[in-house]
Amino acid sequence: MVKPIREFISSRMQSFRYAFAGLSFVLRSQKNSWIHATASIVVVFVSLWLRISLVEWAIIILTITLVWTAEFINTALEAIADLASNGEQHRLAKVGKDVGAAAVLIAALSSIVIGILIFGPPLIERLGF
C-alpha cells in the first residue's frame, strides 16, 4: 500500500516540475510575458489601492489568468508548429501561429475593457474628474 502512494506522490511531483519548467521557459523566452507580468503587477496594485470588491477581485484574477493562459497556449502552439514544420516555412504552421497570437490579442483586449469597466468609476471618483 505504501509503494503505490509513494509512486503517486512521485509522479505528481514530476508533473509539477514539468509545469514549472514550462513556466520558466515562457518567462525566459517570450518577450510579451514580461509585458503581461508588468501589467498583472500594476493591476494588482491598482486593485489594492482602489479597494475593489471581492467580486471585482474574482473578475480581475480570472482576467489575468485568461491572458496568461492564452500566452502559454500560444507559446505551446508555436513550439509544436516549429517542430512539425522542421524550421521550414509552412502555410499551416503560420496559420497555427497566427491564430494563437490572435487568441492572446483577444484576451488582452478584453482585459483592457474589463479593466476600464472595473477601474473606471472608482478611478474617476478617486482622481476627482
CA distance 41 to 58: 16
Global pTM reads: 0.88
CA distance 12 to 62: 25
Q: For 6-122, where are the E strands, in sequence order? A: none
Domains annotated on the chain, with CATH? 31-127 (1.10.287.3610)
Tell me the C-alpha to C-alpha distance, in Å, between residue 125 and each of 50, 81, 84, 128: 10, 48, 53, 5
pLDDT in tens, the chain (129 residues): 677 888 999 999 999 999 999 999 999 999 999 999 999 999 999 999 999 999 999 999 999 999 999 999 999 999 999 998 887 888 999 999 999 999 999 999 999 999 999 999 999 999 887
The helix (run of H) or strand (run of E) holding residue 39 is helix 31-50
CB distance 107 to 70 below 8 Å: yes
Phi then psi dihedrals of residue 32, to 5 deg: -65, -20
Choosing from 71, 78, 88, 125, which is the catalytic residue? Answer: 71
Q: Kindly state the cell numbers that stand for 120.
A: 473606471
Residue 71 falls in the annotated catalytic set: yes
CB distance 27 to 33 below 8 Å: yes
CB distance 108 to 67 below 8 Å: yes
